[in-house]
Amino acid sequence: MMATMAAALSMTGKTVLITGATSGIGRAAAIGLATIGARVGITGRDRSRAEAAAAEIARASGNPAVDVFVADMSSQSEVRRLADEVLTTYPRLDVLLNNVGGFWAHRHVTADGLEHTLAVNHLAPFLLTSLLLERLIASAPARVVTVSSAAQSMGKIDFDDLMGERRYSGQRAYNQSKLANVMFTYELARRLEGTGVTATALHPGVTRTGFGADDPNLMMTPIIAVLRPFMKSPTRGAKTAVFLASSPEVDGVTGRYFADRKARKSQDSSYDAATTAQLWDVSAELVGLPRKPGH
């Protein structure tokens, strides 16, 4: 009861940007954070879907401070436009929740000529975070929270074939992108040392959402149909994200991977500083950013 009261409006005066909050975990996290007083900015690809989601978030949370941003995160020019709009709209940004992500069984190439899974799941949050970093630092203490997956444990960063040009499978590409989310978080935490901005990643748990809807082959398998009733609700799937975005228990906690609101070990290779630095440099090159600010 006391804890609930303490959490009651603990995010009042704070601004949170959540990518991909028109459905699933992102929308549930938006409701959770708006309920405790945050101004929430949500992103989606389609304006009418995003506006309907914003109305639902405002209604469910009782908080009308919900803003809509529209961007297709597979396009770097749209990510850049989104960052510009966010910087114009929000003089301060307390939390960036990188949530957009998906699974694609077949290989697609984005408008920028990049493999779609890597582009949406890893390069988009990498670019968006980089473009918003100065505003986050100016708003410190601030947090960058990135939704990864337990699939990170099966991932491998294949620097020789990052785009799956030689060999593609949806699962390999997804696992690689979710490991990249964790490695990005660890490297970001190192680069943000002393700024008051923390970086954490999480596994939400297997959650009943629209995840994989772009891929009927994945969602219509009999095993998924049987398991669906046992999956977490979006509200439960969003709990660790809401915790990392808002709880005083994780004030100052950085460079960690969480599941069920507990810090967990990610796969061994994710802790290799040379590999995380290499991934950072390759990612910076793929999105056209300098490897280090000022370099």
Ligand X SMILES: NC(=O)c1ccc[n+]([C@@H]2O[C@H](COP(=O)([O-])OP(=O)(O)OC[C@H]3O[C@@H](n4cnc5c(N)ncnc54)[C@H](OP(=O)(O)O)[C@@H]3O)[C@@H](O)[C@H]2O)c1
Enumerate binding residues for ligand X (CB under 6 A): 20-26, 44-46, 49, 72-74, 99-102, 120, 147, 149, 203-204, 206-207, 209-211, 213
Strand partners, 16: 40, 95
Rounded alpha-carbon distances, angstroms, from residue 241 to 165, 218, 226: 33, 25, 26
Nearer to ligand X by Cβ, of 44 and 170: the residue is: 44
CB of 28 to ligand X, least distance (A): 8
Could you give the CA distance from residue 69 to residue 256 in angstroms, rounded to a whole number? 29
CB of 147 to ligand X, least distance (A): 4
Smallest separation, CB 43 to ligand X (Å): 6
Active site residue 90: no
Name the minimum Å distance from CB 274 to ligand X: 26
State which residue, 211 or 280, has the beta carbon closest to ligand X: 211
The distance of closest approach from Cβ of residue 186 to ligand X in the complex, given in angstroms and rounded to an integer, is 17
Complex with ligand X: residue 139 or 279, whichever CB lies closer = 279
Which position among 174, 186, 257, 271 bears the catalytic label? 174
Q: Which of 184, 211 has the CB closer to ligand X?
A: 211
Task: Give the shortest CB-289-to-ligand X separation in angstroms.
Answer: 19
Mind spelling out the 3-state secondary structure of the chain?
A: CHHHHHHCCCCCCCEEEECCCCCHHHHHHHHHHHHCCCEEEEEECCHHHHHHHHHHHHHHHCCCCEEEEECCCCCHHHHHHHHHHHHHHCCCCCEEEECCCCCCCCCCECCCCCEHHHHHHHHHHHHHHHHHHHHHHHCCCEEEEEECCHHHHHCCCCCCCCCCCCCCCHHHHHHHHHHHHHHHHHHHHHHCCCCCEEEEEEECCCECCCCCCCCHHHHCCHHHHHHHHHCECHHHHCHHHHHHHHCHHHCCCCCEEEECCEEECCCHHHHCHHHHHHHHHHHHHHHCCCCCCCC
Annotated active-site positions, please?
174
